[in-house]
Structure 1
Amino acid sequence: MNNKSMNFTTPWPMLTSMTILSACLSLITSMNYTENTSNSSWLGLKLSTIMMIITLFYWSRDTLRDTTTGTLTNNISTNMKLAMILFLTTEAFFFITFFWMFLSSALIPEQGTWPPTSLNMPSPLGVPSLNTILLITSSATVTMSHFQTSLPDGKPLNWLLLTLMLSIMFITVQYMEYHTSTFTMSSGVNGSIFFMTTGLHGLHVLLGSLALTTCLLLMNQYKYSNTSLNSYEMSIWYWHFVDAVWLMLYTTFYCWGS
């Protein structure tokens, strides 16, 4: 029996866009603190975030079902990869805004010198170097895992499991750095920029780890084949993007900024 793809319009992209827009508007409104709007705005932000997670879950479920059953047409597969490229592009510009804020503060410091006395940046040779090694190694192991899928007797599960172990180590080391930091997010604009940027990157590492964990579970259940690796490949793209952002962050914040 030949598998035929079902042609229907999925509601998840539109619903996801609406929930993201609602969350952004609620966040902006809550920042303009007034007694009448603050509580309702935060409630709207929480509800929008919950709805966004729900729609993303069902969208991911449908996508994984199509990719693992091999029912995706070539056009849909190409469009999914194009959408992923556009998503990574928007994420790149999102991070650029934080790098821009940091460089603006560093090149034109308010106190006339950089780094300011309230911001004692960690040495790039300590914990940041360890995290850099962990992420670069994880990028190599996930690439090896993908290569193993093309071999008849390959062991992609082992390499992917090693990648997830490295990501857990990265998150743990990052938490330890936050816990032992000599400054906080309230240490002026510079401290806020540092923690927002590194924290946002840490969140992306966590999301990438969840995506790779899902791929690991599907791979363990033999849901993948050589013709249905779209979700796995796009998760790897995302992971390489996270690694590239960290290299820029390490070079800018830790090496140059300190």
Structure 2
Amino acid sequence: MNVENGVHDAHYYVPAPSRWPVVGAIALFFLGLGAAFSINQMSIGNWSLLFGFAILLWMLFGWFGDVIRESESGSYGQQVDYSFRWGMSWFIFSEIMFFAAFFGALFYTRLISVPELGFFSDTQSLLWPQFHSDWPLATGPKTSSYQTMAAMGLPAINTAILLTSGATLTWAHWALINEKRGQLSAGLGITVLLGTLFLSLQMYEYHHAWSELHLTLSSGAYGATFYLLTGFHGMHVLVGTLILAVMWFRVQKGHFTPQHHFGFEAAAWYWHFVDVVWLLLFILVYWL
């Protein structure tokens, strides 16, 4: 029974026992086992990884499908909706802390460790003859020379793509609230295409950086922070694109109403978070 004026439901929906957590644990077991075997160059490692990923995909489709069916059947009340919103909020907060750790490493290296290394006059003799306390460090004792990524070009284009995708997603959200299903489908579809285009251009950018600029993960602190920050962000764009693609398929099936569409909202929250992180990346990694 629902109570008006913001009071929670008298009854909280409790789903039936599920097999999916056990299936997920089995998938993680084979993934961990495969990773260990692969590191030790054992051929069975690749097969274990493949088997683990297959089980993981089965779990994701099955578990998410159960949740979607429960939602569409009307099993979830207002209190469950509150729980979902708090859960998604804390999840995004954990993602903020995840990226904050890498941004913190970047700031520590640029603003503290490198300037401190250049503070002493005999640093060059202690480290290597060509050392200069300028960011980025162009060379190192075991690092071949490389070029840094410029902000203009592909990074600027990708920034425009992600900003546009945020606008098209907001356009789709507005259409959902106003019951314009055609516009909702078009806005979501365009957003998914823009996310796919972003990932394609980032792959091309990585190839350019690796083969022509000689910028690799072993290119000192700059190479490590560049690939870790942009790589993890790209992984989040991939996940967000897949989530939005699922939302698009659900829209085609007639899911979501102006009153009940938290699945769509959660995907939008996640995508806007990804947009904000990229803006910080563009400014702090590419531009400054």
Structure 2 length as normaliser, TM-score?
0.74
Deviation string for 1:40-83 (max 9, x for gaps)? 99887776655544433332222222233332111111111111
**1:67-106 paired onto structure 2 within 5 Å:** 67-106=71-110
Give 2:187's aligned amino acid. Answer: W
Is contact 1:19–1:49 with CA below 8 Å preserved after alignment? no
- Structure 1 residue 151 corresponds to structure 2 residue 187: no
Task: Indicate which of 185, 190, 205 corresponds to 1:162.
Answer: 190
| 2:86 counterpart SS class | helix
Distance 1:86 1:135, change over 3 A: same
Deviation at 1:190, TM superposition (A): 2.5
**1:44-193 paired onto structure 2 within 5 Å:** 51-107=55-111, 108-109=113-114, 111=131, 112-117=133-138, 118-154=145-181, 155-181=183-209, 182=213, 183-193=215-225
RMSD: 3.1
Is contact 1:67–1:228 with CA below 8 Å preserved after alignment? no
| 1:8 counterpart SS class | coil
Deviation at 1:23, TM superposition (A): 8.7
> In the alignment, what sits opposite 1:7?
14
Is contact 2:159–2:282 with CA below 8 Å preserved after alignment? yes
Q: Tell me, which stretches of 5 or more residues in structure 2 are unaligned? A: 1-10, 118-130, 139-144
Structure 1 window deviating more from structure 2 (10-19 vs 52-61): it is 10-19
| 1:149 counterpart SS class | helix
| 2:256 counterpart SS class | coil
Is contact 2:189–2:248 with CA below 8 Å preserved after alignment? yes
Deviation at 1:249, TM superposition (A): 1.0
Report 1 or 2 for greater relative contact order, CA contacts < 8 Å, sequence distance ≥ 6.
Answer: 1
Is contact 2:12–2:77 with CA below 8 Å preserved after alignment? yes
Give 1:81's aligned amino acid. Answer: R
Deviation string for 1:232-251 (max 9, x for gaps)? 11111110111111111111
- Structure 1 residue 210 corresponds to structure 2 residue 242: yes
Q: Tell me, which stretches of 5 or more residues in structure 1 are unaligned? A: none
Deviation at 1:228, TM superposition (A): 3.2
Distance 2:29 2:59 in 1: 13
Give 2:162's aligned amino acid. Answer: L
